[in-house]
Structure 1
Amino acid sequence: MSDFKLRQKLAGIQDIDHISHILLVRGKKFKGRKVTSFSAPGLVARSRVLTDLYRAPVAFWQCVIRKPDVIIAFYLNYHGLMGWILGKLFNIPVVLVLLGTDLERAINSRRMISILRSAARIAVSGATSKERLIAAGVEESKILHPTSAFSVSDLPIARYAGIEYDLIFVGSLVQVKRVDRLLKAVENLKHRNSLLRLAIVGDGPLRQSLGNLVNELGLDDNVTFVGRVPGNEVPHYLCKSKVFVLTSNSEGLPMAMIEALSCGIPVVVPDAGDINCVVHHKQNGLLVNVSNERELAEALGQVLDNHKLLESLRRGAVATRNLFKSNYSQQAIRRVWETALEGIISLK
């Protein structure tokens, strides 16, 4: 998780008056209010495996000497398991924060569901995830959302002046994001508009192979790999684009999509995870079957070619921004966390 995203996750917790210390066990250093960070040193930090091995005993030792009131684990895989084990060993309540594809991975695993049921609280990104957890036997009273603070007022609203890209993707270049689908859809659209432009903001292990695919599909003049940019610079690229696109296999509630909508950018996204909690078909975006490249291309073409539809979706996106102002404000997120933590620990 980037520093930018971690700050969004911690903001509501940091604002709770009765929380004095946050002991953060993480791969790399982090500075923040109330935060004491424990990170992997030197050569250890260069290896993901060694970093994970290092963090486990550090977290164990902090439980021994500090006995925290609660353990909060972001992501179920590794962190959640480590938090669950430490919670059992030291009788400390555990809050599991499910992000990204966590729920998809856990929902069909009896062991993972058992771990979720045993948690003091489970944080999810939206109502759809909440309903799925309840169906899996998790007590409704244990589930909280949302848990990421987001300062919508700081984001600009896009204007048509200065548009450089027709489409924009923001995210990690990893398999689950299926950026290859987007590239193939762009190839399909290129037959209708040879000047079509796509910006890919982000980096990851598939950067080279996706670059090769761009070359194979003859899209060198149509696709720009922007690379990884600081979180506060992402809106700059969003506001130079007409439509935000995701083609993932699975999602939670992508913050990049929320940023896009907050900037007044319509979205074309899969009906996955909690996306349909905020994206309403033909109101502020399109929910499409992204596994079908022709259907995806048709949906993208429909938005780009129909100025009336694009304007309507844009107005819907701006209206959604007002919803985010109340639901994702730092004050709202603080109340969610404060209520949850008061239910499991004594805040003095």
Structure 2
Amino acid sequence: MNIYLIVRGIPSKNDPQWGCFEYDQAKALVAKGHHVVMLSVDERWKSRWRKLGIRVIREAGVTSYDLYSGPWVLLSVLNLWIYESVSSWLMLKLFKNVVKKEGMPDVIYAHYLDSFEYAINIKRQYKIPVVGLEHWSEMGKAYPSAQALRKAAKVYPQLDKLLVVSHALRDNVHKYVGVNSDVLPNVIGEEFRYLGDRPDNEKVKFVSTGNLLHCKRMDLIIKSLSSDRGMADKCSVTIVGDGVDHQMLQDLIVEHHLEETVRLVGRKTRKEIVEILNESDVYIMASDSETFGVAAAEALACGMPVIATDCGGPRDFVTQDNGMMIPTNDEHKLAEAILYMIEHHKDYSKKAIAEDFHNRFSAGAVANQLTDIFNTVIKKNKA
């Protein structure tokens, strides 16, 4: 099967997380024998990272075409309609160019709402079925923006199949947009694996990873530790990631005199994150909202018990056998959970957690499910 993925971007050395979820699914589909091509139109204000034109990357059996023609995202501030029209035109131009080299696709598989529009524009001209996978955090919020809802109500019904990454997101989409969808979990990169037991740490090591944005609530972790000096002395916390909240979090650490307990270590590569996870004891996800919760899933894949807020996506995979769920935005409950894990983290089997997670969320299982979906929409399109 010839499958074109329309994605937000392509992972690179400078930005390894950009488009990494889509790339993991692409590799899983290649492993099933499919021909997979990724297309992206990059409009970010990071021109120092790349040159104008089409960048072609062939890696792990996936061919990627990334078009950069300038920071068009700035146009969205002036006129959103013109910006979206230009973006859609650029994607269509890239598609026509790629078809000459890779052949006409049997199906287009788009990720995120913005990419759905690009794919539907191509569908109108070429009659190719489109499957969309939604994992945009905006659609998982308790109150999505009116602009996002208007766009979703217009675009979702035009897809041949709408997929979402969790049951919580499925319920939200149906509640606000009235469109039915099927659940397809994210693929977790094969790098995220349990590497075997390590010597006991002097202190219980907690870790959290993600962009340092308010919605990730890294501040809640710091505040919860400040409630009990004795608890803070028994553990350490490593926060991996970067973002606009970095300085605020650093100031909070100093304010609560937690410099010896909490470390902000910045952005890390996947390999480095896997090493950090395997050297730690417990993972914390304190987010307000998650459509899936990839970071917590990556920790489970490495065998770590997880403390997760009841923020949506983690309901699909955090259980009493691999961790604990607490309310969102509750500093007291998070402090209780940390204290419990300090005393009980050894009650969990890291090997068993990792094996169970990979059995339920393996790349092969997701690729098989996608293959069945693609075959169904292709057959229906030809009828």
Q: Could you say which TM-score interval applies, normalised by the shorter chain? A: 0.7 to 0.9
Partner of 1:71: 108
Task: State the distance in 1 between where 2:133 and 2:63 align.
Answer: 18
Contact 2:39 2:95 (C-alpha < 8 Å) held by counterparts:
no
Q: How does 1:127-276 map to 2 (within 5 A)?
A: 127-133=167-173, 137-139=178-180, 143-151=182-190, 154-162=193-201, 166-194=205-233, 196-276=235-315
Structure-2 change in CA distance of 1:237 and 1:97 (3 Å)? same
In the TM superposition, residue 21 of structure 1 has moved relative to its aligned partner by: 4.8
Contact kept? 1:158, 1:265, Cα under 8 Å: no
Alpha-carbon offset, residue 167 of structure 1? 1.5
After TM superposition, the score normalised by the length of structure 2 is 0.75
Q: Give 1:286 deviation, angstroms.
A: 1.3
Which of 36, 44, 51 is the equivalent residue of 2:64? 36
Q: How many residues align?
A: 335
Structure-1 separation of matches of 2:234 and 2:336: 17
* Structure 2 residue 162 is matched with structure 1 residue 122: yes
CA deviation digits over 1:155-209, x for unaligned, max 9?
3145343466632111111122121111111222335433532101111222122
Structure-2 residue corresponding to 1:98: 134
Match of 1:311 in 2: 346
Per-residue deviation at 1:123? Answer: 2.6
3-state secondary structure, aligned to 1:193 = helix
Higher strand share: 2
Task: After superposition, give the CA deviation of every residue in 1:302-347 in whole Å (9 maximum; x if it has no partner).
Answer: 221x2xx3223x22x5433223323333322221121111112269
Question: Residue 227 of structure 2 aligns to a residue in which SS?
Answer: helix
Please say if 1:57 is aligned against 2:89.
yes
1:330-345 correspondence runs (5 A): 330-345=363-378
Task: List structure 1 segments (4+ residues) > 4 angstroms apart after TM superposition.
Answer: 50-55, 105-108, 131-136, 162-165
**Alignment RMSD (CA, Å):** 3.2
Distance 1:36 1:303, change over 3 A: closer
2:29 equivalent in structure 1: 13
Equivalent-residue separation in structure 1 for 2:268 and 2:91 (angstroms) = 31
* Residues in 1 aligned to 2:105 and 2:18: alpha-carbon distance in whole angstroms: 24
Distance 1:122 1:224 in 2: 40
Which residues of structure 2 form unaligned runs of 5+? Answer: 1-16, 43-49, 77-82
Contact 1:149 1:330 in 2 (8 A): yes
TM-score by structure 1 length? Answer: 0.82
- Structure with the greater relative contact order (CA < 8 A, sep ≥ 6): 1 or 2? 1
The verdict on how the C-alpha distance between 1:149 and 1:196 changes in structure 2, with shifts beyond 3 A counting, is closer
Distance apart, 1:147 and its partner CA: 4.4
Change (3 A) 1:218 1:83: farther
Q: Is the 8 A contact 1:25 1:55 kept in 2?
A: no
2:283, 2:311 → 1: CA distance? 16
What is the CA–CA distance in structure 2 between the aligned matches of 1:153 and 1:213, rounded to whole Å? 31
Shift of 1:292: 1.6
Q: Which runs of 5+ in 1 are unaligned?
A: none
For 1:198-228, what per-residue CA distance to the aligned partner results, in whole angstroms no more than 9, with x for missing partners?
A: 1011112221222222222222222111111
**8 Å CA contact retained: 1:100, 1:254:** no
Q: Which residue of 1 aligns with 2:40?
A: 25
Distance 1:246 1:154 in 2: 19
> 1:117-164: per-residue Cα shift (whole Å, max 9, x none)?
332122322344345545664345xx2412425437843145343466
Could you tell which deviates more after superposition, 325-334 or 287-296? 325-334
TM-aligned CA distance change 1:198 to 1:333, over 3 Å: same
Instruction: Tell me if structure 2 keeps the 8 A contact 1:186–1:297.
Output: yes
